Amino acid sequence: MTDTTPRRSTKQREAVREALSASDEFVSAQALHQALRQDGSTVGLATVYRALAALAADGEADALQAGGEVLYRACTPTHHHHLICRSCGRTVELEAAAVEQWAGRVAAAHGFVEPEHVVDIFGLCAECAARRAADDAR
C-alpha cells in the first residue's frame, strides 16, 4: 500500500483506461474485455483483470462487488460514494462529509482504528421507475 509503483505505460493499459472512462456505469471485467475485443483490440482477459486491479489500486477506478462479480468504474480520485440505479446502472458520485465523520466517530467509540467504510445506495432512477410503472400498467 506504500506506493511501490514501478508502473510501465502500455497500449493495453491505456486501452483499458479509455474503455473504462467511456462508460459512466459500473462494468464488469468480462464486459470490458468483450467491448475491447469488439473494437478490434486483441487484449487478453488476464490483462484486463490486471489493468483494472492496477487502476483500482491507484485510485483511478472504483470497484464494487455485485452479484458474484466485481464491477469497475472510472472515478474521481477523491474519496466519495455512489448512488447506483439497480436497473440501468447509471451512477451518481456522492460526497458525504457527514457520513465520513459519522463513520470515524462510531469506529472510535468502539475502539476501532483505521476505519474504512463502504457506503453505497442502490435505487431506481427516475427513468427506470417511470418505465417500470408503464410496464406494470400495461
Partner DNA sequence: GTGCTGTTGAGAACGATTGTCAATTTCGCC
Partner DNA sequence: GGCGAAATTGACAATCGTTCTCAACAGCAC
- Residues at the site binding DNA, with contacts judged by CB under 7 A: 6-13, 28-30, 42-47, 49-51, 53, 68-70
Which residues are at the interface with a second copy (CB under 8 A)? 65, 83, 85-86, 92, 94, 96, 98-99, 102-103, 106-107, 110-126, 129
Tell how strand 27-28 and strand 61-66 pair up.
Answer: unpaired
The minimum distance between CB 9 and DNA, in angstroms, equals: 4
Residue 125 labeled ligand binder: yes
85 is in an annotated binding site: yes
To the question of whether residue 128 is assigned a binding role by annotation, the answer is yes
Instruction: Indicate the residue among 39 and 102 with the shorter CB distance to a second copy.
Output: 102
Q: Which of 41, 36, 38 is nearest to 19 (CA)?
A: 36
Query: Which of DNA, a second copy, none has residue 6 at its interface (CB below 5 to 8 Å by kind)?
Result: DNA
Q: How far is the CB of 130 from a second copy (least distance, A)?
A: 10
Smallest CA-to-CA distance from 83 within 16, 25, 18, 23 is with 25
Secondary structure (3-state) at 138: coil
Q: How far is the CB of 96 from DNA (least distance, A)?
A: 26
**Least Å distance between CB 129 and a second copy?**
5
CA torsion sign, 101 to 95 to 123 to 59?
A: negative
Please give the C-alpha separations between residue 4 and each of 1, 47, 72, 97, in angstroms, as whole numbers: 7, 20, 22, 30
Q: Which residues are annotated as a binding site for Zn(2+)?
A: 85, 88, 125, 128
Q: Which residues are annotated as a binding site for Fe cation?
A: 79, 100, 117
